[in-house]
């Protein structure tokens, strides 16, 4: 593609010059060839781009398999080290009777749940048992740059590293995944992803459903393409504009269903896809409430009929099953109507809980709203021509600096291209930030909470107030993983 682009660029400039010069120009034959390549390239690009806008739809879940719930990672007995996390390669029976080659943490596919308490010091031994380099990135955790697991922290095959950090942020649903330069998309696609829950006094006092796997359900949504041998063939499925698939896995479960008691159930939604956006709805059109964003509780529950999550975003929602019967046909569906997760309502009554009215004290201060913009970020491009501020990632270049503990306002603009452009989910490492405005307007109610990833539409301009509590070098990037791998990433040094 790169070579084609160069030829195409030459052809375009020649066409613009309009044959003024006979020197240093291509022959008519060469030019025909170049413009043909150009039109092929354009149609390739259009196709890739169109594919992204009109993505292949997901097959509806038949509901034949009960949803798998990730195990909770036990603490080690070993003195000093709290947890051990191993990146591994293995085989998983996703389809009955067939083993697929997959990656996982402490297992063959996906990872266990890590549960931290606010205020505790966590020590994790990370071990790379893959036959390629990887990193352990803690998405949404406010930690120092040297334990964040960005591309500079690659562990070679067989290597291990013990990291330590104090959990200083509030209750939230975070996750972890690899971040090696140029290989993130493939490793996540193969199965490297796990959840992190943070609990604090507030989360324990709110009386929200918190019986893990019963009425507090993690849901990692990922779309995949399986080949005829039921293998995840990333190279074959890969799309430079974001790899999507027709097969939905939730927590690695094919055709999942969730059996619930008659009670309020908390669903912790994570869009763990490489590129697909999800708009979650109930098939009945009924509403639900959102209680948390990426990095903590909303102040009050927000009643919604749908919630959209772009890759890496999370939302916690509560669905009320207490008044439903076993014959009710309820399911979580996607915007296009495909069934993501059918619910089976058991005749058991569960815990009766009330969603609290007041859950947090998040606010946008007057100072924050009046701060001038001090960093401008322009997202641009598609396929492998994606850039931030006109540049591709360079591990040796620091793009911005910011002082530890100082709030700045960043303005992020998604510059459209000649075909309109596309949504880029923008993520910043090592911090939780506040959305100040979207195109000058107040953010929607369900975005008035801590965020580490935001969806930005073409031609949209988003202002955020952002502070880093720790020092180090952090990545900011598009969370369409192929865009990230293609260089839509920059670095900020916090001093
Ligand atoms: Cu992008």
Task: Compute, in angstroms, the gap from residue 482 CA to the centroid of ligand 1.
Answer: 8
Task: Compute, in angstroms, the gap from residue 488 CA to the centroid of ligand 1.
Answer: 7
CB 174 within 8 A of CB 138: yes
For 298-354, the pLDDT digits (tens) are 999 999 999 999 999 999 999 999 988 888 899 999 999 999 999 999 988 888 888
Task: Compute, in angstroms, the gap from residue 184 CA to the centroid of ligand 1.
Answer: 14
Cα–Cα dist 333/285, whole Å = 10
Task: Compute, in angstroms, the gap from residue 360 CA to the centroid of ligand 1.
Answer: 31
Cα–Cα dist 479/425, whole Å = 5
Task: Compute, in angstroms, the gap from residue 479 CA to the centroid of ligand 1.
Answer: 6
Task: Compute, in angstroms, the gap from residue 280 CA to the centroid of ligand 1.
Answer: 21
Give the count of beta carbons closer than 10 Å to the beta carbon of residue 168: 14
The per-residue pLDDT for 324 is 87
Task: Compute, in angstroms, the gap from residue 127 CA to the centroid of ligand 1.
Answer: 30
Average pLDDT over residues 217-225: 98
Task: Compute, in angstroms, the gap from residue 234 CA to the centroid of ligand 1.
Answer: 19
CB 85 within 8 A of CB 105: yes
For 438-472, the pLDDT digits (tens) are 999 999 999 999 999 999 999 999 999 999 999 99
User: By C-alpha distance, which of 259, 273, 157 is closest to 217?
Assistant: 259
User: By C-alpha distance, which of 465, 485, 495, 436 is closest to 188?
Assistant: 485
For 361-405, the pLDDT digits (tens) are 999 999 999 999 999 999 999 999 999 999 999 999 999 999 999
Q: Which two tokens stand for residue 141?
A: 């955790």
Collapse the DSSP code of 2 into the 3-class scheme (helix H, G, I; strand E, B; otherwise coil) and give the result.
helix
Task: Compute, in angstroms, the gap from residue 11 CA to the centroid of ligand 1.
Answer: 27
Task: Compute, in angstroms, the gap from residue 433 CA to the centroid of ligand 1.
Answer: 19
Give the residues across from 114 on adjacent strands: 196
Question: Among 3-12, 252-261, 412-421, 479-488, which stretch is predicted with the lowest mean pLDDT?
Answer: 3-12
Assess whether pLDDT exceeds 60 at residue 222: yes
Task: Compute, in angstroms, the gap from residue 385 CA to the centroid of ligand 1.
Answer: 10
User: By C-alpha distance, which of 129, 127, 125 is closest to 88?
Assistant: 129
Question: Among 37-51, 87-101, 225-239, which stretch is predicted with the lowest mean pLDDT?
Answer: 37-51
Task: Compute, in angstroms, the gap from residue 311 CA to the centroid of ligand 1.
Answer: 10
Q: Which two tokens stand for residue 308?
A: 């959209």
- Dmax of the chain from CA atoms? 84
Task: Compute, in angstroms, the gap from residue 152 CA to the centroid of ligand 1.
Answer: 21
The per-residue pLDDT for 140 is 98
H or E stretch at 37: helix 28-53
Task: Compute, in angstroms, the gap from residue 384 CA to the centroid of ligand 1.
Answer: 10
Task: Compute, in angstroms, the gap from residue 374 CA to the centroid of ligand 1.
Answer: 23
Task: Compute, in angstroms, the gap from residue 294 CA to the centroid of ligand 1.
Answer: 19
Task: Compute, in angstroms, the gap from residue 223 CA to the centroid of ligand 1.
Answer: 17
Collapse the DSSP code of 408 into the 3-class scheme (helix H, G, I; strand E, B; otherwise coil) and give the result.
strand
Please give, one letter per residue, the 3-state secondary structure of 248-303.
EEECCEECEEEEEEECEEEEEEEECCCCCCEEEEECCCCCEEEEEECCEEEEEEEE
Task: Compute, in angstroms, the gap from residue 255 CA to the centroid of ligand 1.
Answer: 29
N residues, the chain: 495
Task: Compute, in angstroms, the gap from residue 125 CA to the centroid of ligand 1.
Answer: 32
Task: Compute, in angstroms, the gap from residue 16 CA to the centroid of ligand 1.
Answer: 30
Give the residues across from 378 on adjacent strands: 413
Assess whether pLDDT exceeds 50 at residue 2: no
- Distances, alpha carbon 224 to alpha carbons 35, 275, 350, 357, 446, in Å: 35, 10, 34, 38, 28
Q: What percent of the chain has pLDDT over 90?
A: 83
The per-residue pLDDT for 79 is 78
Cα–Cα dist 306/177, whole Å = 27
H or E stretch at 10: helix 2-17
Task: Compute, in angstroms, the gap from residue 3 CA to the centroid of ligand 1.
Answer: 22
Cα–Cα dist 296/457, whole Å = 24
Task: Compute, in angstroms, the gap from residue 474 CA to the centroid of ligand 1.
Answer: 18
The per-residue pLDDT for 426 is 98
Task: Compute, in angstroms, the gap from residue 259 CA to the centroid of ligand 1.
Answer: 36
Average pLDDT over residues 249-269: 97
CB 381 within 8 A of CB 488: yes
Task: Compute, in angstroms, the gap from residue 90 CA to the centroid of ligand 1.
Answer: 30
Task: Compute, in angstroms, the gap from residue 80 CA to the centroid of ligand 1.
Answer: 40
Task: Compute, in angstroms, the gap from residue 456 CA to the centroid of ligand 1.
Answer: 9
Task: Compute, in angstroms, the gap from residue 182 CA to the centroid of ligand 1.
Answer: 14
CB 318 within 8 A of CB 359: no
Task: Compute, in angstroms, the gap from residue 420 CA to the centroid of ligand 1.
Answer: 14
Question: Among 43-52, 148-157, 343-352, which stretch is predicted with the lowest mean pLDDT?
Answer: 43-52
Assess whether pLDDT exceeds 90 at residue 424: yes
Task: Compute, in angstroms, the gap from residue 284 CA to the centroid of ligand 1.
Answer: 33
User: By C-alpha distance, which of 462, 461, 459, 456 is closest to 480?
Assistant: 456
User: By C-alpha distance, which of 236, 184, 44 is closest to 489?
Assistant: 184
Task: Compute, in angstroms, the gap from residue 400 CA to the centroid of ligand 1.
Answer: 20
The DSSP bridge pattern shows strands 314-320 and 288-293 to be antiparallel
For 118-129, the pLDDT digits (tens) are 999 999 999 999
Question: Among 4-18, 173-187, 290-304, 318-332, which stretch is predicted with the lowest mean pLDDT?
Answer: 4-18
Local confidence band at 54 (pLDDT 50, 70, 90 cut-offs): low
Mind giving me the DSSP string for 412-448? EEEE--TT----EEEEETT--BEEEEETTBPPPGGGS
Task: Compute, in angstroms, the gap from residue 480 CA to the centroid of ligand 1.
Answer: 5
Question: 6-20, 76-90, 196-210, 345-359: which has the highest mean pLDDT?
Answer: 196-210
Local confidence band at 30 (pLDDT 50, 70, 90 cut-offs): very low
Look over the chain and give the mean of its residue pLDDT values, rounded to a whole number.
Answer: 90
Task: Compute, in angstroms, the gap from residue 254 CA to the centroid of ligand 1.
Answer: 27
Phi, psi of 201 (to 5 degrees): -60, -40
Task: Compute, in angstroms, the gap from residue 131 CA to the centroid of ligand 1.
Answer: 28
CB 438 within 8 A of CB 462: yes
Assess whether pLDDT exceeds 70 at residue 13: no
The per-residue pLDDT for 381 is 94
CA angle, 244 as apex, 243 and 245 as ends, to 5°? Answer: 135
Task: Compute, in angstroms, the gap from residue 424 CA to the centroid of ligand 1.
Answer: 4
Local confidence band at 81 (pLDDT 50, 70, 90 cut-offs): confident
User: By C-alpha distance, which of 4, 38, 48 is closest to 480?
Assistant: 48
Task: Compute, in angstroms, the gap from residue 318 CA to the centroid of ligand 1.
Answer: 30
Q: Which two tokens stand for residue 123?
A: 């020590």
Task: Compute, in angstroms, the gap from residue 423 CA to the centroid of ligand 1.
Answer: 7
Cα–Cα dist 12/446, whole Å = 46
């Amino acid at each position: 593609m790169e070579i084609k682009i160069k030829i195409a660029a030459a052809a375009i400039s020649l066409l613009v010059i309009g044959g003024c010069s006979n020197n240093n120009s291509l022959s008519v034959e060469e030019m025909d060839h170049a413009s043909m390549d150009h039109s092929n390239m354009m149609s390739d690009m259009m196709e890739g781009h169109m594919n992204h806008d009109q993505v292949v739809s997901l097959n509806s879940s038949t509901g034949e398999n009960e949803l798998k719930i990730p195990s909770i990672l036990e603490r080690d007995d070993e003195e000093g080290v709290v947890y051990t996390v191993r990146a591994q390669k293995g085989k998983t029976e996703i389809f009955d009777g067939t083993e697929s080659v997959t990656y996982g943490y402490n297992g063959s596919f996906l990872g266990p749940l890590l549960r931290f308490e606010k205020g505790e010091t966590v020590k994790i031994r990370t071990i790379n048992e893959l036959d390629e380099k990887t990193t352990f990135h803690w998405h949404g955790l406010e930690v120092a740059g040297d334990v964040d697991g960005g591309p500079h922290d690659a562990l070679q095959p067989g290597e291990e590293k013990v990291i330590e950090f104090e959990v200083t942020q509030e209750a939230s649903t975070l996750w972890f995944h690899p971040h090696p330069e140029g290989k993130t998309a493939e490793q996540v696609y193969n199965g490297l992803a796990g959840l992190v829950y943070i609990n604090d006094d507030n989360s324990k006092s709110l009386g929200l459903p918190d019986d893990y796997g019963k009425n507090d359900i993690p849901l990692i949504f990922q779309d995949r393409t399986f080949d005829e041998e039921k293998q995840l063939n990333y190279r074959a499925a890969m799309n430079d504009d974001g790899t999507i698939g027709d097969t939905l896995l939730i927590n690695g479960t094919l055709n999942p269903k969730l059996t619930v008691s008659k009670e309020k159930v908390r669903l912790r939604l994570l869009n763990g896809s490489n590129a697909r956006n999800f708009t979650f709805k109930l098939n009945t059109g009924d509403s639900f409430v959102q209680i948390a964003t990426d990095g903590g509780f909303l102040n009050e529950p927000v009643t919604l009929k749908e919630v959209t999550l772009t890759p890496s975003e999370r939302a916690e929602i509560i669905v009320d099953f207490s008044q439903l019967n076993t014959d009710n046909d309820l399911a979580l569906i996607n915007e296009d109507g495909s069934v993501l997760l059918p619910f089976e309502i058991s005749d058991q009554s569960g815990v009766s809980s009330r969603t609290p009215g007041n859950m947090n004290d998040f606010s946008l201060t007057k100072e924050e709203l009046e701060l001038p913009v001090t960093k401008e970020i322009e997202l641009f491009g598609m396929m492998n021509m994606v850039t931030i501020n006109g540049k591709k990632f360079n591990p040796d270049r620091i793009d911005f600096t910011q002082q530890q503990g100082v709030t700045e306002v960043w303005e992020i603009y998604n510059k459209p291209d000649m075909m309109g452009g596309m949504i880029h989910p923008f993520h910043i490492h090592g911090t939780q930030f506040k959305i100040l405005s979207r195109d000058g307007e107040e953010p929607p109610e369900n975005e008035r909470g801590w965020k580490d990833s935001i969806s930005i539409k073409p031609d949209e301009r988003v202002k955020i107030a952002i502070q880093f509590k720790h020092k180090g070098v952090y990545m900011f990037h598009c969370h369409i993983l192929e865009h990230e791998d293609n260089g839509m990433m920059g670095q900020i040094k916090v001093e």
